Structure 1
Amino acid sequence: MSLHERNLALLDDHAIPYREVSHEAVLDYPTAHAVRQRFGLRGVESKSLFLRLKGGGYAMLVTLEDARADWAQLKALLGARPSIASDEELVDLTGCVPQCACPLGHAEDIALVFDEAIFRHDYLIYSPGPPERTLEVATADLARLLPRLPNRVLNYRSE
């Protein structure tokens, strides 16, 4: 099952409503903003960073497009020093396209680190895998979904 199929199945299995749109590949924020305007998407753009942990393991940091990573906080949360994983690791371990990491649908041994700032907005916009697809999901529904995932889910507070 592809990452895209896993995301849709995850949302469907938990009765999470979503809106999906198809468009040109989105690999940068200017294109993402143009797509958001064209389709009238209401959410904030996500930024997902795939992290390698010193000593082994991986995590996906899910934050907002303009947020900066707080590496000290991430180390404290994850219990190991994180660094940005290589494009090869991203592709091999998640099925994501570089510059288009997806927040959900990953193997259960990949920790999910969600920025609390996301939940101050009504909707989150993210790519479910292919850069030509965007999902809009209510953050209230996302908050309901996260505890049901097999992944370890950690709360993060951006600057």
Structure 2
Amino acid sequence: MSLHARNLALLEEHAIAYREVSHEAVLDYPTAHVVRQRFGLRGVESKSLFLRLKDGTYAMLVTLEGARADWSQLKALLGTRPSVASDEELVRLTGCVPQCACPLGHAEDIVLLVDEAIFRHDYLIYSPGPPERTLEVATADLARLLPQLPNRVLHYRSG
């Protein structure tokens, strides 16, 4: 099953409403802003960063556009030093396209670090895999979904 299909199945399985739009490939924030305006998307843009941990495991940091990673906090939460995974690792282990990492639908051994700042907004916008697709999901529904995921979910606080 593709990452896109896994995302839609996950949302539908948990009765989470979403809006999906199709558009040109979004691989940067200026294009994302154009798409958001064209379709009237109400959410804040997500930023997902795939991390390789020193112990050989992986994590996905899910935060907001413009947020910078707090490497000390990440190390404290994960118990080991993280680094940015390679594009090859991202593609092989998640099915994501480089510059378009998806926050959900990953193997259960990938830890999710979810920025609490996301929940100060009503909606989150993210790509469910293909850079030509965007989902808009209510953050209240996302908060309800996270405990249901097979992944270990850690709460991260951006500055």
TM-score norm. by structure 1 comes to 1.00
Show the counterpart of 2:154: 154
State how far apart, in whole Å, the 1-side matches of 2:102 and 2:64 are.
13
How far 1:56 sits from its partner (Å)? 1.3
Where do 5+ consecutive residues of structure 1 fail to align? none
Show the counterpart of 2:86: 86
State how far apart, in whole Å, the 1-side matches of 2:63 and 2:34 are.
20
Aligned amino acid, residue 152 of structure 1: R
Number of residue equivalences: 159
State how far apart, in whole Å, the 2-side matches of 1:55 and 1:154 are.
17
Q: Percent identity?
A: 89
State how far apart, in whole Å, the 2-side matches of 1:24 and 1:50 are.
23
Show the counterpart of 2:32: 32
Aligned amino acid, residue 32 of structure 2: A
Aligned amino acid, residue 95 of structure 1: G
Show the counterpart of 1:68: 68
Show the counterpart of 2:2: 2
Where do 5+ consecutive residues of structure 2 fail to align? none
State how far apart, in whole Å, the 2-side matches of 1:65 and 1:81 are.
23
The RMSD of aligned alpha carbons is 0.3
